[in-house]
Amino acid sequence: MKELKFSKGLLASLLLTTGILAACGNGEGASSSDEDKVTVDIFQFKVEFKDQFEDVVALYEKENPDVNIDITTVGGGEDYGAALRSRFASGNEPAIFNIGGPQDVADWKDNLTDLTDTDAAGAALDGTLDGVTVESEVLGLPYNQEGYGFIYNTRLFEEAGIDPASITDFASLEEAVKTLDSKKDELGLDAVFALPGKEAWVTGLHLSNTFIAPEFDHNVLDAFDAPKVEFEYGDAFKKILDLQNDYSAQPTVSLDYSQQVEELFSLERVAIIQQGNWVYGSIAGIDQELADSGVGLMPIPVDGYDEGGLPVGVPMYWGVNSNQDDEVVEASKDFLNWLYTSDAGKKAVLEDFKFIPAYEGYDTTKITDPMSKAIYEAAESGNTIGWVFMGYPTGWGEDVLGANIQKYLSDEADWEEVVDSAKEAWETERSK
């Protein structure tokens, strides 16, 4: 009797195991259904435009019935890098993926196709390809341009009697801040600024970039190759940080993006925040009118240097995987060309994605929000500060400098210590 039960159990377990294994096998096979079509796998990271992007891709597939494009979106900086690595490790490599800057290019060099001959690369604006060019090979195509600075509330400035155009250097900024501060009660402000110390990317990457870029001639590759950093404009950096911190809603160390942009700025409880054009959606979520017509963007003045440049750069690039079959590589290039140089693509980039284009030949009057407009104008006139933070040593900007700045903001370290340990960390990282 016992023997019988045994063999039954055995049979059941064997059947089950085979069943499961078979099910796993099926799952793998199902994805390659359309045999005659070229399938391009896109693995991208910009969550904000996922829906619009999928719509555009659907349009492209309709125009090109022999191409099938699958999109996977994984959001957030760290998660994306990790997910991309595991995609490659698993052998299920995407055809198009995102790369951030020189470090990514160096890491992925063996997997990137030379895109120099593409129309899109030809149309890319001056300087936007610097970060992804290795030995005159263009290994990535820019998503778009973004820029940041001090975003201010135009109504509050007007009521305080400040003309934003008159703020041209640190002294006049300080003056304006003091004026605002003295009229806090009438204007209904909690404070003048909201400095998000918790967001190490705001302080450690963006703010620091404004003061470190001049040192590297605004060139991300120079920063990437530099064995050390001098903090030439460290004093100017400290001045701006102190100004923001002294006149900020407190405590700055735990102030995050949502509090800064949505709670304090969008509810008009502070007048100025250091952010970029990407906050448009966040502000619009609270107060559409404010986002459309109540804000302006001005540069962060670098005391002792050119004080009028807006930091503008390319946040992300598209790379094409060179390990794929030739026809997939060609199809990938075609798609990117279409996206950035065809009329339909351009329209989508500008109007649906609401991108500030990094390519020429766009009808820029279609850019509506005031921050993007300011950035495009600055980019056109060349009055910009480069984005070199993509060339910082890995993790240095946020984990070292940003964390040190948090220490400084909580009075756990003085400025000297912040700068010294950041310099030291840069050198150690580079000498590895």
Partner 1 sequence: MRTKDISYWLFLAPVLIALFLVVVVPMLLGVYYSFTSWNGIVTGDFVGLQNYIDLFKDERFMDALWFTTKFSIVSVILINVIGLSLALLVTSYLKTSKLLRTIFFMPNLIGGLILGFIWQFIFIKVFASVGEMIGMESLQGWLSTTETGFWGLVILMSWQMAGYIMVIYIAYLEGMPKELLEASEIDGASTVQRFRFIVFPLVAPGFTVSMFLTLSNAFKLYDQNLSLTGGGPFNSTEMVAMEIFKTAFTQNDFAFAQAKAVVFFIIVAIIALLQVYFNKRKEVEM
Partner 2 sequence: MRKKRNYKLEILGIFLALIWLAPFYLMIVNSFKSKREIFTNTISLPESWNLDNYIEAFQELDFLRTLFNSLLITISSVVLIIIFSAMAAYALSA
Scanning 32-40, 221-229, 247-255, 365-373 for contacts with partner 1 by CB under 8 A, the matching segment is: 247-255
CB 321 within 8 A of CB 331: no
Whole-angstrom Cα distance, residue 268 to residue 189?
7
Residue 208 in tokens: 């620091």
Backbone angles phi, psi at 315, to 5 degrees: -75, -30
Task: Select the binding partner of residue 395 from partner 1, partner 2, none (C-beta < 5 to 8 A, by kind).
Answer: partner 1
How far, in Å, CA of 105 to CA of 390, rounded? Answer: 11
Q: How many CB atoms lie within 10 A of CB 159?
A: 15
Site map (CB under 8 A) of partner 2, residues 187-226, x = contact: ----------------------------------------
With binding defined as CB under 8 A, does residue 164 bind partner 1? no
Q: Please, is 111 exposed, middle or buried when counting C-beta atoms within 10 Å of its C-beta (0-12, 13-18, 19+)?
A: middle
Closest CA to 316 of 70, 73, 87, 52: 73
Please report how the helices 415-431 and 234-246 are oriented relative to each other, as an axis angle in degrees rounded to 10.
130
Distances from the Cα of 226 to the Cα of 2, 153, 314, 350, angstroms:
75, 38, 20, 36
The correct pick among 262, 330, 352, 429 for binding partner 2 (CB under 8 A) is: 262
Name residues contacting partner 1, limited to 192-221 (CB under 8 A): 197-198
Q: Is residue 235 within the footprint of partner 2 (CB under 8 A)?
A: no
Query: With binding defined as CB under 8 A, does residue 263 bind partner 2?
Result: yes
Cα–Cα distance for residue pair 18/24, rounded to 1 Å: 10
First to last CA, the chain: 69
Decide whether 89 or 165 has the Cβ nearer to partner 1: 89
Considering only 395, 415, 420, 423, the residue that binds partner 1 (CB under 8 A) is 395
Q: Pick one of 151, 205, 240, 253: the residue that binds partner 1 (CB under 8 A).
A: 253
CB closer to partner 2, 286 vs 413: 286
Q: Which does 406 bind (CB under 5 to 8 A by kind): partner 2, partner 1, none?
A: partner 1
Output 17 or 394, the one with its CB closest to partner 2. 17
Contact pattern for partner 2 over residues 266 through 305, marking x by CB under 8 A: xx-----------------xxx------------------
* Positions in 309-368 near partner 1 (CB under 8 A): none
CA distances to 77, 78, 123, 224, 328 from 82, in Å: 9, 6, 31, 22, 24
Minimum CB distance to partner 2 smaller for 264 or for 336: 264
Interatomic CA distance for residues 258 and 265, integer angstroms? 10
Based on CB atoms, which residue is closest to partner 2, 70 or 416? 70
Task: Give min distance, CB of 339 to partner 1, in A.
Answer: 27
Q: What is the DSSP string of 23-36?
A: HHHHHHHTT---SS
Each residue 19-58 as x (binds partner 1 by CB under 8 A) or -, in order, gives ----------------------------------------
Closest separation in Å from C-beta 285 to partner 2: 6
Can you state the percent helix, strand and coil of the chain, rounding each to 5?
Answer: 55, 15, 30
Kindly determine how many residues on this chain lie close enough to bind partner 1 according to the rule CB under 8 A. Answer: 32
Q: Which of 9, 122, 281, 361 touches partner 1 (CB under 8 A)?
A: 9
The reply on whether position 239 binds partner 1 by CB under 8 A is no
133 closest CA partner among 124, 375, 389, 44: 124
Closest distance to partner 2 from the beta carbon of 256 (Å)? 13
Where does this chain bind partner 1 (CB under 8 A)?
A: 6, 9-10, 13, 17, 78-79, 81-82, 85, 88-89, 107-108, 197-198, 250-251, 253-254, 259, 394-395, 398-399, 403-404, 406-407, 409-410, 412
Where does this chain bind partner 2 (CB under 8 A)?
A: 9, 12-13, 16, 20, 262-263, 266-267, 285-287
